Structure 1
């Protein structure tokens, strides 16, 4: 096997992350020809095809390429971490950090991380990828991200997870709703009233199944993938919903009431998902420190990957 260089791995990790030769060249501040040459040399050195180049459609990784991309990202991160360790001596971190965030958690996690790194480590190049829980974790396992913020039910088996905040789903209602004055509320009590539910699978499917187990059928008038839109509809007292993260008011400024669901003892906590068996870089550890500080987690509490029974 020919010699594999760190530069080849760096360029290939950028190709895997951007899924584009052009994007990788831009990311690494080199020409497209340099990235293409490095990719070809790496394929020749390893004796396998790592990527399928499609004119006008970017780059798709082969199965071998997906494996190599994960390792390439880990190795380049570890090398970058050497500089970060030296920077830590002077109280500063640097380098590129890409974090995946489940789309409904972005409004909570992104501002915290931006504030934390801008204030404490302005030399860090921070970026985010928002999407579904499985999609962002697959991107992380493919080497394109270093950390994901997801719900417990979404953690994939190939990931380890660290608790950031213990949460349970609650009913959200307008204070004018007939059930708003109760201490708790059941699905059976909610079922006759109009509902707007989170349009996110598998959460929606599991929610409907929970109503069925309770022997009732909800009056689902609307569905939305936007938490803010749901808050506004509920704030106008047009429907109730079931959500994880409490908020005192809607974006329109209307008050909201969150009530525990009667008999709901299962958690679906906010978790940091990481690739299993991968050494954490200083940047990842700093991210976890920021998220723990925000959500009030005393310290790391890891749980194995794989979904619990509810979401």
Structure 2
């Protein structure tokens, strides 16, 4: 039985979807617009379906086109995994790893691991993406990243996870702050202070929002910043306090004080459920788990 489409036509189809039109798709694929239009017309003819609604200067998906998008992405992902597996039968290793890391871990936990892995495998290029934990989950599930670090809270569905590290979230204050001499800080006391917090989508902010819901407190947000050095500077100057992983607070001008009761976060190394791991990806997973 002859298939009504090939992988090339599906790539062109998805390019039109992702780029929002035939002209933009042609530019991204380095093809003539006429070639893109002909490929889509042939695909529609073979399927016996209309995939796009063609309006003046606008292109939209029909319901049939919408139904094809997910299946097309899945087929192309499977084809890429198969191609990679066949290449590796000839000892060819994937030359790039795309890794997603939350900012706190990217700055204070992962650099030695990344450098150690690079020293052992100098031929593998590492592309590191720093973003909020929820954004990283979506990027891994969508195939934009090969591996990433996620919060091990049960919400990361469709991901295969390996426990990585359990870290204490602590209250971060200046050394001369009244909290600095305490053994623990209650959530109520924490929320009574002006806070410097990450924006939505980061596990730092999600931790604080969850703590607020659980205790019925309202957060007094003085500043929002995803930049750790800026957040530390604001705290050092006494304009607010924050919470960090304990290892992030290690500097003379700041004090790390446990919450009362202590609060811990479990983080995992994750990849898309059912995804084929190349030798490079498997080597990275093994290296990180061996050097936790």
Q: How far does the alpha carbon of each residue in 1:42-76 deviate from its partner, in whole angstroms, 9 at most, with x for none? A: 95698378899999999999453233223422431
Q: Does 1:287 align with 2:287?
A: no
Counterpart of 1:73 in structure 2 is: 77
Q: Runs of 5+ in structure 2 lacking a partner?
A: none
Kept in 1, the 8 Å contact 2:137–2:156? The answer is yes
Distance (Å, rounded) in 1 between the aligned partners of 2:130 and 2:165: 19
Distance (Å, rounded) in 2 between the aligned partners of 1:139 and 1:119: 27
Give, in angstroms, the shift of residue 3 of structure 1.
7.2
Counterpart of 1:270 in structure 2 is: 267
Kept in 2, the 8 Å contact 1:159–1:276? The answer is yes
Distance change (3 Å), C-alpha of 1:38 and 1:236:
farther
Secondary structure of residue in 2 paired with 1:272: strand
Considering fraction of residues, name the structure with more helix.
2
Q: How far does the alpha carbon of each residue in 1:65-111 deviate from its partner, in whole angstroms, 9 at most, with x for none? A: 233223422431332243345437xxxx3334333344554435774
Secondary structure of residue in 2 paired with 1:97: strand
Q: How far does the alpha carbon of each residue in 1:216-265 deviate from its partner, in whole angstroms, 9 at most, with x for none? A: 54443222222332122123333210223622456xxx633222211245
Give, in angstroms, the shift of residue 180 of structure 1.
1.0
Secondary structure of residue in 2 paired with 1:262: strand
Distance (Å, rounded) in 2 between the aligned partners of 1:108 and 1:74: 35
Kept in 1, the 8 Å contact 2:102–2:202? The answer is no
Counterpart of 1:163 in structure 2 is: 163
Larger deviation: 217-226 or 34-43?
34-43
Kept in 2, the 8 Å contact 1:12–1:69? The answer is no
Kept in 2, the 8 Å contact 1:105–1:150? The answer is no
Distance change (3 Å), C-alpha of 1:190 and 1:133:
closer
Q: 1:21-40, aligned counterparts within 5 Å?
A: 21=25, 25=29, 31-33=30-32, 36=36, 40=40
Secondary structure of residue in 2 paired with 1:171: strand
Kept in 1, the 8 Å contact 2:179–2:257? The answer is no
Give, in angstroms, the shift of residue 165 of structure 1.
0.9
Between structure 1 and structure 2, the one with the greater Rg is 2
TM-score (norm 1): 0.68
Length, aligned pairs only: 281
Distance (Å, rounded) in 2 between the aligned partners of 1:46 and 1:95: 37
Distance change (3 Å), C-alpha of 1:62 and 1:14:
closer
Q: Runs of 5+ in structure 1 lacking a partner?
A: 26-30, 297-311
Distance (Å, rounded) in 2 between the aligned partners of 1:272 and 1:15: 31
Secondary structure of residue in 1 paired with 2:286: helix
TM-score (norm 2): 0.71
Counterpart of 1:141 in structure 2 is: 141
